[in-house]
Amino acid sequence: MRRFVGTLLALILGLAVVSPSTVTATPRSDMYTNVGIIGVTITNLGYVGNGYNSPFQPSCEYPLNSNVEHLFLGGLWVGAVVPDGTIHVSTGAQDASNLVAGDEIREFTDDPDEPVLVWSNSQNSDNFNPAALATQHIQVAFNDYARVESGNHVALGLKVVLRALAWGNPYADDFVILDYSVINISGGELRDLYVGFWNDTSVGSTERNNPYDPQATPGWNYYDDQNGGWGPPGWGLPDFAVPENDDKIWMMFEHDDDGDDGLATSWVGCRLLGSRPAVEPPEGVPPVSYNSWQFRHVPANDDSYYADDDVDRENLLPGKYQIMGDGSFTVGETQAIDYTIASDWVGLLSTGPFPYLAPEDTLHVTFAIACGADSLSLLANSKVAQVAYDDGFAIPAGPPSPVVDFSFENDTVILSWAPGDSLDSQGEALPPDSPLRSPEQHISSITGRADFQGYRIYRYQGETINEDPYSIATLVAQFDQVDGVGFDTGLPPLNEDGMRVFRDDGLLDGFPYWYSIVSFSAPDLEEGLPEFQSGFNENARLVHPGPAPADGGGSSTIGVYPNPYRAGSMFDNRSGEVELGRKIWFTGLPSHSRIQVFNLAGEVVKTLDHDDASSGQEPWDLLSDPVRAIASGLYIYVVENLDTGERQRGKLVIIK
């Protein structure tokens, strides 16, 4: 949450339903949000997060690429009374020690009749679709009737469509909205429904503690997290659980107790944004329940039950359904348990009851997963998610980030992009949502008028952006069209191909640089609108400056740097294993060429194919084929121009 926290206008977009008749869904757990600074794994299996199953995909990482995780696993719960009077609950996730164990007990699975949709409302995106509600719109479907492996589960007969919505705009990039549509396809009426979001949050630094290897030392600490919840005034909650100026809040949260020595100090929360229709609780009973328990204390059954060792049947225990509607708000120190201590907490935020759900009817319940640098940031970020929900998922946006092409010269990066058109090839006006209009001819969906004002170009030197990009990237240029608004600096020049061009020189060849060009709108005084800016991650790209391809006449001179290569030099960017992150560069390459590296015995150590019309250099990670670390010594390299057959040779020294 940074620049704009004003009132969002009510711009409600209807979702165009896409239902290909022959599309077959398959289990998906490889998708995650990446347009903002929160990365959340989305699946069509009823759960979100990935159980810290892979270091290469975030579960709920914030900021993205920071190696700070927040959510082990989360999932949808739905409970109801079925026509025969019995009570059943279907769950997307429950208390489980790992993803495999979680898979064995989840009670939803992918719906074979529904496709997975990945859309964007950014007009320059490859996935642009005018029906998209966000910069990243992931839509999946799952059901509870095709999976019966998990014990005594009895399906309610539900089909669920999840729309996961993420934004890149700098005022809305700290949360992901999870909009659930629960459809009754059982053929019978479901009564007294409750819907909840279960989550096993666990905050920590994966650099400090390894969650991916159970044998690692130090391992992940699941028992040092503090949980709690916030609710609105009027329900008798403790003062510390009622934040100011947020009368709609129902949210559970967690943060690491010791902050992992300053490496993981951020907070995560799950906020209930609303439902359609509204819930109808008994008078005096809260419409939302927040239940928290220590890991492995999830109720054993859907309905009330007696423990196996209660032979006298004296203590009837609440089942999953009962706790979903018990009106509890488990914060602070109670007679039964102290919720203020650090432990391995699991939480359930649920709402209901919904009196009935007729066959083929749909119930909509929406949550948001939000993160923040601290408690105040989390509250502010989740409040923007609430306003977005209240306004029909409308996040005001200006012109999208342009699609950027990169070319290179020595010590220089050249960025070029199309300004956009207002007319098609026939001279007719392009539709307002046409991608060809982006960005300088962009039409505001709020005012119906052109809203482009200028560009900002950001640069960051480093392999990975692991913080809020606006806090660490350098604003290297700002361009503002001459119209009496703003700085009137003018826009970058057009080249002979009608592309805007910006040259950034004085760089270090072979070093990593991130670039992003964002577009911004002019404030609209007539409508009372502030400036809107597109998202950093819409076109952010990692590049390495170096010479252009050596495709001109005559022989080019092939080189390699650094040479000799000494481990631990500035070209070492190691993280994790020692041999990862090493890099040297071959330079002066033709655009289509092959590099072969030989040891002194004449054996091929590595073959690299270079196919890049914009760059004349190619990196080598100093790993052989197959992947092994190479030894110190003298190596011979041969570069072949694949267009002409010309070859050049040279020597390379590795010193470790």
Give bridge partners of residue 367 from the DSSP assignment: 178, 272
Convert the pLDDT of each residue in 470-510 to its tens digit.
999 999 999 999 988 888 899 999 999 999 999 999 998 88
Per the CB < 8 A criterion, the answer to whether 515 and 541 are in contact is: yes
Least Cα distance to 90 among 106, 103, 111 occurs for: 106
The overall longest dimension of the chain from CA atoms, in Å, is: 95
Among the four given CATH numbers 1.10.3470, 2.60.40, 1.10.530, 2.60.120, the one describing domain 404-543:
2.60.40
Helix (H, G, I), strand (E, B) or coil at 268: strand
Q: Tell me the domain boundaries of the chain.
A: 31-390, 404-543, 559-655
**Residue 5's pLDDT band (cuts 50, 70, 90):** very low
pLDDT tens-digit map of 338-355: 999 999 999 999 999 999
pLDDT at 46 over 90: yes
Per-residue pLDDT averaged across 27-37, rounded?
A: 94
User: 142-156, 258-272, 285-299: lowest mean pLDDT where?
Assistant: 142-156
587 and 546 Cβ atoms separated by less than 8 Å: yes
- pLDDT tier at 80 (50, 70, 90 boundaries)? very high
CB 61 within 8 A of CB 38: yes
Mean pLDDT of 515-521: 96
Q: Is the pLDDT of residue 614 over 90?
A: no
Q: What is the band of 555 on the pLDDT scale with cuts at 50, 70, 90?
A: low
For residue 399, is pLDDT > 90?
Answer: yes
Q: Evaluate if residue 108 carries a pLDDT over 70.
A: yes
Q: Is-above-0.95 flag for pTM?
A: no
Distance of alpha carbon 406 from alpha carbon 543, whole angstroms: 8
Which residues touch 574 (CB under 8 Å, ≥6 apart)?
580, 581, 582
Fold classification of 31-390 is Beta-galactosidase; Chain A, domain 5 (2.70.98)
How far are the Cα atoms of 57, 343, 514, 583, 647 from residue 574, in angstroms, in the given order? 19, 34, 18, 10, 33
Measured CA to CA, the distance from residue 110 to residue 88 in angstroms comes to 20
Terminal alpha carbon distance of the chain: 45
Domain 559-655 fold is Immunoglobulin-like (2.60.40)
**pLDDT, average across residues 11-38:** 62
- Beta carbons of 62 and 38 less than 8 angstroms apart: yes
Q: What is the DSSP string of 474-519?
A: EEEEEEE-SSSSTT--BPPPB-TTS-EEEEEES--TT--EEEEEEE
Tell me whether residue 390 is exposed, middle or buried, using C-beta atoms within 10 angstroms of its C-beta: 0 to 12, 13 to 18, 19 or more: middle
Q: Alpha-carbon distance 370 to 137, whole Å?
A: 16
Distance of alpha carbon 36 from alpha carbon 171, whole angstroms:
10
Question: What is the average pLDDT across 301-321?
Answer: 90
Query: Residue 409 half-sphere exposure, CB side, CA atoms within 13 Å?
Result: 8
pLDDT higher for 336 or 374?
374
> Is the distance from CB of 595 to CB of 610 less than 8 angstroms?
yes
**Is 559-655 the same fold as 404-543?**
yes
